[in-house]
A and B are shown apart, each in its own frame.
Chain A
Amino acid sequence: MKRWLPVLPALWLAAFVLLPVILTLKISLSTPATAQPPYLPVLDWSAGFEGWGSFLEALDFANFETLAGDALYRDAALSSVTLAAVATAILALIGTPIAHAMARAPERRQPLLVALLIVPFWTSFLIRIYAWIAILKPEGLLNAGLMRLGLIAQPLEILNTQGAVLIGLTYAYLPFMVLPLYAVLAKRDPRLAEAAADLGAGPARVFWTVTLPLARPGLVAGALLCFVPMVGEFIIPDLLGGSDTLMLGRVLWSEFFSNRDWPLASAVAILVLVLVVGPLILFREDGATAREAGR
């Protein structure tokens, strides 16, 4: 029984991760066709080896060449990564003080703070993003409030800009940044910061040399949990970004559902996968260095 236990997660991953990736990869190498399914080639199981031969011959990288050649996809990839990176940086800047304050709160109050952080999950993600439309639109809550205060004379154009997408990303992903950071910071030994202060370090030096390096695993985990899904995010740019915001998630959606170009959509999906695997490898190395350092 014990020996077979690791097989279950392996089977799960094979069925729901590996197999879909292989199928997507195959479709990305196919050619669109007006057929069912809407791509060629389709493997002819009855033709045996020859069927396999002609099947493999028909696969090519034409869709990836299209992706590389068309500025639209390059811009979408660049803007996806940039927006995700900027949002991750903002999240780190906002999330670190929040996690720090949570970890410093009296111990009996910390479960409540964690609960408050995850309370928004009780409402559907989609509805919460729709709510931001009501806040950000020209006659929305934010503009009305600012105009009431006399800070602005004209409503600000926030909705349907990249700024709105950044606001939405920051809002939606904050718990994913704060929770791993908090988990690391709550476990740390408060004596370490005291020892640093005792040795003459002012608050800033304590933060940069002790608190932050020790929080690094939490920061890396939080950054990955945010950056990776944000690169492929669809709902937030679709609802808040308007037609100007080009992100891979929207491109993928329109290739798939509007153009019904499954092979090209699959190629975009593979591109997203490659873009997010990069940081994952970096994280692995970071983890390895951390373990090395810990030895």
Chain B
Amino acid sequence: MASTRAPGPAGLLTCAGLGKRFGAHAAVADLDLTLQPGEFVCLLGPSGCGKSTLLRLIAGFETPTSGTIRLGDTDITADPPHRRPVNMMFQSYALFPHMSVAANIAYGLTGLARAARQARVDELLRLVRLDGFGPRRPDTLSGGQRQRVALARALARAPKVLLLDEPLGALDRALREETQGELRALQRRLGTSFLVVTHDPGEALALADRIGVMEGGRLAQIGDGASLYERPANRFVAGLLGDVNLIPGRVPDRDPGGLSTLDTALGPMRARGAADGEGVIALRPERIALARTPSGDGRALPGQVVETTYLGDRIRLRVRMADGSLWRVSAPTGADAPGVGETVHLSYPPERAWLMPAAG
């Protein structure tokens, strides 16, 4: 299967046609992924989408049912975990409870002289700002400190690719945001390729050069945060990355100007992107402009406000449209915000709306 594929651009880590079945259940199916040197890629998806299984396949804890994993030019598909030049940071950290912090970090540093090993451990402790914590036991540390020990241990062997399974998942919210920045800065400084699994879209957007959205064991879409947010491949990706209004319809023709027109229950609506036959427009709530009076061009769509939620910097509204559907609108906070029951006219710049195929 993999051999029939055209070789893609030379990557550091290449998964080709990778699949893993557990009985009848395909945890990962026909997945292609290429990681470039120094790249920070997040795998994003709900639990059970196969993202952790993918990480375990790359680390070597699971054997793929099909496909290959290559590191540079070397096929590592059949290599056991201890022979793979990739390291993993576990979600639970998996620190050895019977060893000191220093011994945990030094565990992978075999084949080094005692002094060199000690120097490397000290260097790593400094890197994660845990100087002096070497003799401590893992269970005497806070969650954030344990997370940094796990990171230092995983980086000790200077892996070509570092796999991180929900690296910030066990931290509380404030610490998580602070650690996001640190993790990103550390990755930039070291130039190691990071492959991070997360279920948190905000985290993926904040960390990654590229985000791979996984759905049902497949890679639904991969790209930078902006392209996934602005030009999602399907409803799942659109909804995963943030609030979105999905307006279904039929595509009668394509506008030569680059905009497509979709016949919806609310009349013709324009958007970028393309679809054959059935299509869906993804319209982000913050792209919609609210007005009390109909617009001059007559394109604004009337609706009635049914709910408002004050969020400080924004007001979130739910608006009942003419066809009975509810739209989410996010408007800036201001004195003239419409109240519940008021009629509003909604318009949007068609180049900021995205048309995608209804299926998939």
B96 CB–A CB distance under 8 Å: yes
In the complex, the chain A residue whose C-beta lies closest to that of B80 is A197
A198-B59, A199-B157 are known contacts. Are A293 and B98 too (CB-CB below 8 A)?
yes
A199, B156: Cα distance in complex, Å = 9
Q: Is A213 an interface residue (CB 8 A)?
A: yes
Interchain CB contact (< 8 A) of A199 among B97, B98, B107, B137:
B107
Task: Assess whether B110 is in contact with A194, with CB atoms less than 8 Å apart.
Answer: no
B98 in contact with A200 (CB, 8 Å): no
Which residues 70-105 of B sit at the A interface, judged by CB distance below 8 A?
Answer: 80-82, 87-88, 90, 92, 94-98
Does A284 sit within 8 A of B, measured CB to CB? no
Instruction: Closest B residue to A210 by CB, please name it.
Output: B96
A192-B94 in contact given A197-B82, A198-B87, A199-B156 (Cβ < 8 Å): yes
Question: Shortest beta-carbon distance, A181 to chain B, in Å?
Answer: 16
**Other-chain residue from A191, A200, A294 in contact with B94 (beta carbon distance below 8 A):** A191
Instruction: State how many angstroms separate the Cβ of B243 from the closest Cβ of chain A.
Output: 36
Chain A proximity of B146: nearest CB distance (Å): 13
Interface assignment of B139: CB less than 8 Å from any CB of chain A: yes
- How distant is B155 from chain A, measured CB to nearest CB, in Å? 11
* Cβ-defined partner of A294 (8 Å) among B87, B92, B97: B97
Please state if A199 and B87 are interface contacts (CB–CB under 8 Å).
yes
Candidates B81, B137, B154; contact of A194 at CB < 8 Å: B81
Q: Decide yes or no: A195 and B90 within 8 Å by CB, A200-B82, A294-B139 being known contacts.
A: yes
User: Measured between C-beta atoms, what is the minimum distance from B7 to chain A in Å?
Assistant: 28
Interface size class of A (residues with CB under 8 A): 10 to 19
Residue of A with least CB distance to B140: A295
| A213 lies within 8 A of B98 (CB) | yes
> Are A196 and B140 within 8 A (Cβ)?
no
Given A189-B94, A192-B94, is A199 in contact with B153 using a C-beta cutoff of 8 Å? yes
Give A210 to B107 CA distance when docked, in angstroms. 10
> Known interface pairs A195-B94, A214-B97, A294-B137. Does A200 touch B80 (Cβ–Cβ under 8 Å)?
no
Closest CB of chain B to A101's CB: distance in Å?
19
1/0 per residue, CB under 8 A from B, across A193-210: the answer is 011111111100000011
Size of the chain B interface, CB-CB below 8 angstroms: 25
- Docked complex Cα distance between A201 and B108 (Å): 7
B96 near A200: Cβ-Cβ < 8 Å:
no
Whether A295 touches B94, Cβ cut-off 8 Å, given contacts A199-B87, A199-B157, is: no
Which A-chain residue is minimally distant from B98 (CB atoms)? A213
CA distance A294 to B138 in the complex (A): 9
Evaluate whether A196 and B107 lie within 8 angstroms (CB atoms) in the complex, with A189-B92, A293-B137 already known. Answer: yes
Bitwise, A170-201 to B at CB < 8 A (1) or not (0) is 00000000000000000001011011111111
Decide if A202 touches B82 in the complex (CB within 8 Å): yes
Specify which of A191, A195, A197, A295 lies most central, judged by the most chain B CB atoms within 10 Å of its CB: A195
Distance between B271 CB and nearest chain A CB, rounded to angstroms: 46
B-chain residues with CB within 8 Å of residue A199 when the two chains form the complex? 82, 87, 107-108, 153, 156-157
In contact, A194 and B156 (Cβ under 8 angstroms): no
Q: Which residues of A are found within 8 Å of B90, using beta-carbon distances?
A: 191, 194-195
Q: Is the CB of B81 within 8 A of A295?
A: no
Is B310 interfacial (CB-CB < 8 Å)? no
Bound-state CA distance A198–B165 (Å) is 14
Q: Contact between A295 and B98 (Cβ–Cβ < 8 Å)?
A: no
Chain B residues 46-79 with CB under 8 Å of chain A are: 59-61
- CA–CA, A191 to B97, complex, Å? 12
Q: Are B88 and A195 in contact (CB under 8 A)?
A: yes
Asked whether A191 and B82 contact (CB < 8 A) given A199-B107, A200-B157, the answer is no
Residues of A within 8 A of B139 (CB): 294-295
A201 and chain B: residue at smallest CB distance: B82
What are 21 A-to-B residue pairs whose CB atoms are below 8 Å?
A191-B90, A192-B94, A194-B81, A194-B88, A194-B90, A195-B90, A195-B94, A195-B95, A195-B96, A196-B107, A197-B80, A198-B61, A198-B81, A198-B88, A199-B82, A199-B87, A199-B157, A201-B108, A293-B137, A294-B137, A295-B140
Which residues of B pack against A, CB within 8 Å?
59-61, 80-82, 87-88, 90, 92, 94-98, 107-108, 110, 137, 139-140, 153-154, 156-157
With A195-B95, A195-B153, A199-B108 given, can you name 7 additional A-B contacts, CB distance below 8 Å? A194-B90, A195-B94, A196-B96, A199-B82, A199-B156, A200-B82, A213-B98
Top 7 nearest A-B pairs (CB, nearest first) are A199-B108, A191-B94, A195-B94, A197-B81, A197-B82, A198-B88, A213-B98
